[in-house]
Amino acid sequence: MGNPTAAKYGRYYEETKMEDVEELTQTTKDVPTVEVTMKYLQALRQAVGLHIDPETAEVDWIYAQALDPYGNHPNLPEELQQVGREYFARSPGSDVWILFYDLPEATRDALWKKHKRALAFPAGLEFAAANRKTNK
């Protein structure tokens, strides 16, 4: 991370436990749970990312907190709140979207190459400009 403020809080995220998230339903609070750390979730996401095939993967992007693209930290300190485009991929039929940066580099590069037009900013502008030229 190039941002010194983000680097300062980096350890905070690794040590945060899901139980620290305050917005739980009453039912969830009453059920015995397993302690899940952010470090574990990160490893799990990276493991899932190993099984995403760039040839068949679905991709999408959303505007999200750059330092919390999965939305795990509802109480993100204000000085760390910065919204940007975040890119995700998933295996067909899966409900689990994985951030591009949690994918192996080769997979990420292949997805960018294959889906460049759909993921480009602003999406589709290059295609629209090309159509305008051919319709004149």
Rounded alpha-carbon distances, angstroms, from residue 16 to 21, 36, 46, 73, 77: 9, 9, 18, 9, 13
Tell me the whole-structure pTM to 2 decimals.
0.66
Question: For the residues 62-78, what does the mean pLDDT come to?
Answer: 92
Question: Worst-scoring range by mean pLDDT, 10-14, 53-57, 86-90?
Answer: 10-14
Q: What is the pLDDT of residues 21-36, one digit of tens each?
A: 555 555 666 777 778 8
pLDDT for residue 115 is more than 90: yes
Mean pLDDT of the chain: 80
pLDDT at 124: 52
pLDDT for residue 4 is more than 90: no
Question: For the residues 94-105, what does the mean pLDDT come to?
Answer: 96
pLDDT for residue 128 is more than 60: no
pLDDT for residue 129 is more than 60: no
The structure tokens listed for 65 are: 């907190």
Tell me the longest C-alpha to C-alpha distance in the chain.
66
